[in-house]
Structure 1
Amino acid sequence: MGPFPVSNGYSYILLVVDYMSRWVEAIATKTNDAKVVVDFLKSNIFFQFGVPKALISDQGSHFCNRAMSSLLHKIVFGKACYLPVEIEHKAYWVVKQCNLAYDRAGKQRKFQLQELDEPCLEAYENSQIYKQKVKRFHDQHILRKEF
């Protein structure tokens, strides 16, 4: 494609393509600098679709600079992670005691999984009964033809 004509002062097109789905996001920009790229990635890509696993670029100056590296650093190391127990209980011994009950938690988890199987089996049985009733109804309304 040749050079695009300038329209209302917009002389550049920033284009992002998802390789799997072939989804295209594009904006017209007045400048070709890192701030425009970072703002576009934050507002149109990261907030709408989430953070991609890889950014493939031409290694231009608008992708390899301090603004882009600070954006990526904020995404990875932006906020500290707190466990709900740490927020609720400030004492270390409480957190330690909660973390040591693995065997009891494992038994409770197995029990919960067994309880989940019962509704699944009941739903399967109900679907089989429904299929039998529909088949019986259908068979009763079929007109027999003899040749």
Structure 2
Amino acid sequence: MSDCIFCKIIDGEIPSAKIYEDEHVYAFLDISQVTEGHTLVIPKNHKQDIFELDDETASNLFKAVPKVANAIKSAYQPKGMNLLNNNGSFADQSVFHYHIHVIPRYDENDGFKSQWKVSNESSTEKLQEISNKITNHF
């Protein structure tokens, strides 16, 4: 896709700090380092979001993510690692080329914060209702 910044990075039109590359996947440091080592893992073929991923692309991506995470772990010895993926504007996706953030975590003040409101525990009946609604779409 000609106007996609990540496609331009893959094509070498925009420089990047490459971490990993294979035939299907490219991983590079996020220009906005939330924490040191914050890396983006992307498919080389343009897919806007998770809803456009085919099985092969998803498989190739998720084979690469542990390799990238383990390299970051070996280099920086973080206390933990967050994998983050946003799909759609409402979910704060800002670049519409599917990508997975690999964010090493060093301490509670390292610049990354993720929290959500936890509702009361759902009943077995409510969980089954939700399960049925979703599984009807496979």
**Same fold per TM (> 0.5)?**
no
TM-score range, shorter chain: under 0.3
**Could you say which structure has the larger radius of gyration?**
1
TM-score (norm 2): 0.27
Higher relative contact order (CA 8 A, sep 6+): 2
- Structure with greater proportional strand content: 2
Comparing both structures, which one devotes a greater share of its residues to helix? 1
